[in-house]
Amino acid sequence: MKVLFVTSEIAPLIKTGGLADVSGALPAALRAIGVDVRVLVPGYPQVLAQIASNEVLATFSDLPGFPPSRLLFSTLHNGVPLMVIDCPVLYQREGGPYADAYGHDWSDNPLRFGLLCRVASILGCGGTPLSWHPDLVHGNDWQAGLTGAYLSVAKEAAPNIITIHNLAFQGNFDSENVALLHLPPESFAIDGIEFYGKMSFLKGGLYYAKHITTVSPNYAREIQHVELGFGMQGLLQARSRDITGILNGIDTDEWDPETDKHLAFHFSSQRMVGKAKNKRALQEQMGLQVQADVPLLAVVSRLTHQKGLDLLLEIVPRLLDIPVQLVVLGSGEKQMQDEALALAARYPDKVAAMIVFDEGLSHQIEAAADMFIMPSRFEPCGLNQFYSQRYGTPPVVHSTGGLADSVVDCTPQTLRDGTASGFVFSGMTADNLYAAIMRAVMVYCNEAQWKQLRKLCMNKDFSWETSARAYRRVYLKALGRAVEFAQD
Ligand code: ADP
């Protein structure tokens, strides 16, 4: 089975969030179970600078509406074949994949990601210039959402599926883009890419896809209701039978406390002394009081309303009545950044805040901290709760989306039956978060229980293999190979 995997970011080449982690790991896991996956990404400078070869697979000099581009071929460090769209006019610029250095979205994003979808549709139909013909096109998030609309009028089009990593990001733009992107005019309809008078990449993706997946089973249910449906709940309800939630795995090579290249001290569930050394090193580096037995709380996150960190910042003064420390690594909304920095200035030996995106530091924090705080208002899957468990840092999470699917609340019962893996609170209030953190601190103070909880966390299996098999079942279903689907 041949699959074209279309994504706007891929670790380790370019990353703003969890989509990159998934794109960096899932294709390799699929290849390991016999699926011939190739990845298609835009040629941002960060990508072009890191790919080994510049073999040109094809040139697209006269795609109506788009500047000329070339398709380059390379192979990722994990053996996954990569196809890169080199289009300097659209991608060669300083800044992030979606926005400039000041956080303003690129005004030509419709064109930038329209080209990604257009090229995906060319490679996924009979007219492809390549000898490699995918059986299926797998798009991710809104940036790949128009692929199905283009394929709907292509000859010998492969079926396409879409994975929602976050329904809140939809790629909605003015309707004039329908003509500018040379989309089929009839696609601008309620049964198509139209969404409240605008054209929507994601709506198109959800409408035209043969099958829809989300990155956790719980999120697949939540988005069919008004609270977390972001206006798409009607369409999602109508397509309910075609939606499957598949929990993300993690890259267990990248995130392995025994071998992590970002760590000065390695450790395992059998030998935890390295973790204590990492804690000491981080406390020193961040200017916190060096204290082995004070619980160190951590956050690594985009600082946005979604992540619910306003609740944490609100309760910090209250939390500091007991001996705890907090380290925050993140960037995002200015007000939240400023509040985190203000707390760090007010309590310099107890709170540290770093407003940057720093992959290495995120690993060091996971390794050093005692507890990881994720009070997300909604969370399609979330990754840090997995990393935290693997690094013996029980997460404190709000019961939503993938967090509810992947963290089991620590109680005497779950400790006994060996399922406990963190602390879960319901009801999105500062008081409820505070109570959950206090529960975690109570268990921390009971050395035997804390050791047991950490061990349970670290021994859980988060590899991609199970998820890759679930994706393969979805592929088979989308291809109508139901017999194999039933047997797999
Ligand atoms: P989302 O994709 O919504 O941002 P996820 O939990 O799915 O959230 O994935 C976030 C990823 O980005 C994780 O790998 C996390 O460690 C990483 N990350 C977020 N903020 C930072 C930061 N400031 N520095 C380093 N890594 C970060």
Q: The CATH number of the domain where 304 resides is what? A: 3.40.50.2000
Instruction: Quick: pLDDT tens for 186-200.
Output: 999 999 999 999 999
Residues ≥6 apart with Cβ < 8 Å to 439: 410, 423
- My answer on whether 424 and 469 are in the same domain is no
Say yes or no to pLDDT of 229 above 50.
yes
Residues 428 and 336 in one domain: yes
Same structural domain for residues 410 and 426?
yes
pLDDT of 481: 87
Separation of 300 CA from ligand 1 center, angstroms?
7
Orientation of helix 309-319 relative to helix 430-445, angle to 10°: 60
- Average model confidence (pLDDT) across the chain: 96
259: in domain: no
103 has pLDDT over 90: no
Q: Is residue 219 one of the residues assigned to a domain?
A: yes
CA distance 367 to 388: 8
Q: Which residues does ligand 1 sit against, CB inside 6 Å?
A: 17-18, 21, 166, 300-302, 329-331, 357-359, 362, 381-384
- Residue 488's pLDDT is 46
Question: If you average pLDDT over residues 116-127, what whole number do you get?
Answer: 98
Q: Is 271 exposed, middle or buried (0-12, 13-18, 19+ CB in 10 A)?
A: exposed
Looking at the CA of residue 306, tell me the nearest atom of ligand 1. Answer: 3
Q: Which pLDDT score, from 0 to 100, does residue 131 have?
A: 97
Question: Taking Cα atoms as reference points, which of 297, 331, 324, 307 lies closest to residue 428?
Answer: 307
268 in a domain, yes or no?
A: no
Same domain (yes/no): 431, 289 = yes
Q: Which domain holds residue 161?
A: 2-249+464-487
Query: How far does the centroid of ligand 1 lie from the alpha carbon of residue 302, in Å?
Result: 6
Atom of ligand 1 nearest to the CA of 215: 7
First to last CA, the chain: 14
Which band of pLDDT confidence, cut at 50, 70 and 90, is reported for residue 486? very low
pLDDT tens-place string over residues 421-470: 999 999 999 999 999 999 999 999 999 999 999 999 999 999 999 999 99
Do residues 169 and 51 both lie within one domain?
yes
- pLDDT above 70 covers a percentage of the chain that reads 99
Q: Is residue 265 part of a domain?
A: no
Atom number, ligand 1, closest to the C-alpha of residue 19: 2
* Pair (289, 171) in one structural domain: no
Q: Is the pLDDT of residue 485 over 80?
A: no
Are 343 and 427 in a shared domain?
A: yes
Examine residue 266 and state whether it is found in any structural domain, yes or no: no
Residues 395 and 386 sit within 8 Å (Cβ to Cβ): no
Backbone angles phi, psi at 315, to 5 degrees: -95, 0
pLDDT in tens, 253-274: 889 999 999 999 999 999 999 9
Which run of H or E residues covers position 374?
strand 371-374
477 in the same domain as 453:
no
**In this predicted structure, what is the pLDDT of residue 52?**
77
Q: Which residues touch 445 (CB under 8 Å, ≥6 apart)? A: none
Tens of pLDDT, residue by residue over 357-409, are 999 999 999 999 999 999 999 999 999 999 999 999 999 999 999 999 999 99
- Residue 68 CA to residue 97 CA, distance in Å, equals 19
Q: Are residues 86 and 14 in the same domain?
A: yes
Mean pLDDT confidence for 465-486: 85
Task: Tally the domains of the chain.
Answer: 2
